[in-house]
Structure 1
Amino acid sequence: MSAMPLKHRRVLIASAVVVGVAAAAVGATVWARDVDADDGTARPQQNVKTVAVTRQDLSTSRTLRGSLGFGTPRPVKSGREGVVTWLPQPGTSVARGEVLYRLNDEAVPLFTGSPPLYRPLAARGTVGRDVAMVAENLKALGYPIGTQPKAGERVTQEAPPPNPGASGAPATPPGATSVTVKAGEGAYTAALINAVKKWQRDRGLPDDGRLDVGDLAVLPGPVRVDSVSALVGDAATGTLMSVTSTTKVVTVQAPPAEVDALREGDATSVRLPDGATAAGKVSAIATVAQQNEAGGTGPQTVAVTVALDDPGAAGHLDGADVTVEVAGETRKGVLAVPVNALLALSEGGYAVQLEDGRLIGVRTGLFSRGLVEIEGTGVVAGLKVVTTS
């Protein structure tokens, strides 16, 4: 691309401001320069600053500080009223089917998935995602659940049996209804009810095939107890404990400008305290920026979770400060100038301005840490171009 003649008396020029390493300009400082109508050159204003075009390697890779641990804790509350009679110790891992806590001296086991129980399950033919959650857990625990109906099939939902714990005479139950199973839903079939009864017998519970709200603690997966909030003897009305995943991850509190360039699945290299490195990938990026300091006085950051390809690479460490290298694009031996040397022309495209006021059209490439890759006719290493201060 050669030096471009400009035919307008005045040319509107914008100096792009690039945030982080994003390759798109997100703001601009705009000013005008006089242009000679005869030769199309701009007469530079006074107090201009120049910089030399350099040949160097550019990379969008970045280094972030992170913390090795088990991820962000989440609170656990009881799904029913009662008195807390047992809680696990911090650091305890709880797998599917194991007891997470006890209320009124009755064990509340952990089931994984979603949603939690939000209604009693008792009537044969009851359909819903909560039924599918129960079926998946019992199957994983080794209980035969029979064949579940497929999406689109219709099942007959019978009237629910009376709740033996309810006071007073039960209301007249409604008649049976026909229900269509939707994707992701399960049906409370006779085989599944039998599986529930067998599971109840194995746990020393009344084998009535009924599951009430609060009988199960339902969480996304196995958990590790991070901290315990309640005391034995407390009413189960608030947070009982906080739990995390059982898998070690790295949590990075990154500035929002850095997060703009990150994507889930980006490859990373985590440097551990002993100097060893462990490969990983960005597994989650929060969508809300938060203040990390008390009182909201510190800079906002966004939580980024990095999953290690081999969690065992962290060894015995349950927590540590680490360095995370996020892989990016690399261009070797390219011509580069500060981003503020770019001029966005009103007729489109970019240019750089020489000391004598001439404009040379350029094509842009990789943006990285305030620099931009450029190429164009006459653009060589050592060429002095105008930039803003």
Structure 2
Amino acid sequence: MLALAAAGFGATRAFPGRAAPAPVAKPSLTVATVTRADLADSRMMPGTLGYGAGVTVRGSGAGIVTQLPKVGATVRRGKPLYRVDDQPVVVLFGGTPLFRPLDKPGLTGRDVAELRDNLTIMGYASHRVRDNDVLDNGLLAAVHKWLKDLDLDVLSPARAVVLDGPGRVSALTARLGDPAAGDLFTVTGTGKVVTVPLDASDAGGVRVGAAVSVQLPSGDAVPGVVGSVGTVAEAGETPKVTVTVKVSAAKLDAAAVQVRFTGQVRKQVLTVPVGALVALREGGYAVQKTDGSLLPVKTGMFADGLVEVDLVPEGLEVVTTP
């Protein structure tokens, strides 16, 4: 018995230097606070930044192209745009192409009214007449003064091109020495736009005048406004909707971009992170309070990692995922 006791005592004395096991730490909780925020139902769609769809400028009459504009040149009212047989071809703005020489008093028509509009804006003529669509002596004198400043003798379809407004030469089709009667170059608008092709099912909430955000390749975002919404249908294919977005702050001439379209907006609603939602076995959702209890909630809009909730007080701390 003494030997056993001694052995037992020795065994007991062999462990005094071993450290006691550390207590198990409780897992830390990631906590979020129920706060008010604005939520917006938005989506990002790819688009192309540029100057929009172009219009082909076609020359008329006999002659040889002797000068073409440079790509990027601005198209201005009343100014020469290119030259045929070393004579300038000038620009008028409007919707009626010239179809006859405007050189005889008494001519009437939309082309005459269009000419008067242009010469009035340029300061050569006046609208203070009874009939704006009549080529009277006063308008004819204004035409001659303008043509003299341009070193032209007559205003004819071969010496003027009518466009719908200011533009920018985007591409050349013809070369020097080509016949004047043909496709010469392409003109776009002067403002930058983003063209976004959408399926018809995705375009239901897109409206002209709606504000959007355009994300550039650099990651910067610039504001934009929807300028047009048009449907393009090709045989055998699902109709596509083309949306153009006007932007002014972009420093790039062309780039692939992302456009954020915003739909429904919910102002100052109670929100929690989506990770705070707990799916209930009986259906629906709850949030977990820091004491471990569950509080059922009613959910609304989901956006940007947040979810609209109801039936909870503002300022409540809830458990969420890290």
Residue of structure 2 in register with 1:304 after alignment: 243
Residue of structure 2 in register with 1:31 after alignment: none
**CA offset at residue 117 of structure 1?**
1.0
Residues 300 and 216 of structure 1, relative CA distance in 2, 3 Å threshold: same
**CA offset at residue 193 of structure 1?**
0.9
Contact 2:169 2:188 in 1 (8 A): yes
Residue of structure 1 in register with 2:53 after alignment: 72
Q: Distance in 1 between matches of 2:135 and 2:164?
A: 22
Bigger CA radius of gyration? 2
Give the 5 Å matches for 1:53-68: 59-68=40-49
Number of residues of Structure 1 aligned to a counterpart in Structure 2: 242
Match of 1:89 among 58, 70, 77: 70
SS in 1 for 2:123: coil
Residue identity in the other structure for 1:81: A
Say if 2:116 is the partner of 1:99: no
Q: Distance in 2 between matches of 1:189 and 1:247?
A: 37
Give the 5 Å matches for 1:128-139: 128-139=109-120
Residue identity in the other structure for 1:235: P
Q: Where does the alignment leave 5 or more consecutive residues of structure 1 unmatched?
A: 1-56, 150-154, 156-184, 335-353, 356-365, 370-379, 381-389
Match of 1:109 among 74, 78, 90: 90
Residue of structure 2 in register with 1:10 after alignment: none
Residue identity in the other structure for 2:257: V
Residue identity in the other structure for 1:302: V
Between structures 1 and 2, the one with greater helix share: 2
Contact 2:231 2:239 in 1 (8 A): no
Contact 1:146 1:192 in 2 (8 A): no
Residue of structure 1 in register with 2:320 after alignment: none
Residues 61 and 127 of structure 1, relative CA distance in 2, 3 Å threshold: farther
Query: What are the Cα deviations for residues 263-290 of structure 1, in whole angstroms up to 9, with x where unaligned?
Result: 2111111122233322221111223235
Residues 367 and 106 of structure 1, relative CA distance in 2, 3 Å threshold: farther
Residue of structure 2 in register with 1:189 after alignment: 136
Residue of structure 2 in register with 1:171 after alignment: none
- When normalised by structure 2's length, the TM-score is 0.66
SS in 2 for 1:286: strand
Say if 2:248 is the partner of 1:273: no
4+ runs deviating over 6 angstroms: 366-369
Contact 2:112 2:134 in 1 (8 A): yes
Q: C-alpha root-mean-square deviation of aligned residues, in Å? A: 3.1
Residue of structure 1 in register with 2:260 after alignment: 325
Residue identity in the other structure for 2:161: A
Q: Where does the alignment leave 5 or more consecutive residues of structure 2 unmatched?
A: 1-37, 272-281, 284-299, 304-310, 312-322
Contact 2:208 2:228 in 1 (8 A): yes
- When normalised by structure 1's length, the TM-score is 0.55
Q: Distance in 2 between matches of 1:107 and 1:188?
A: 23
Q: Identity over the aligned pairs, expressed in percent?
A: 39
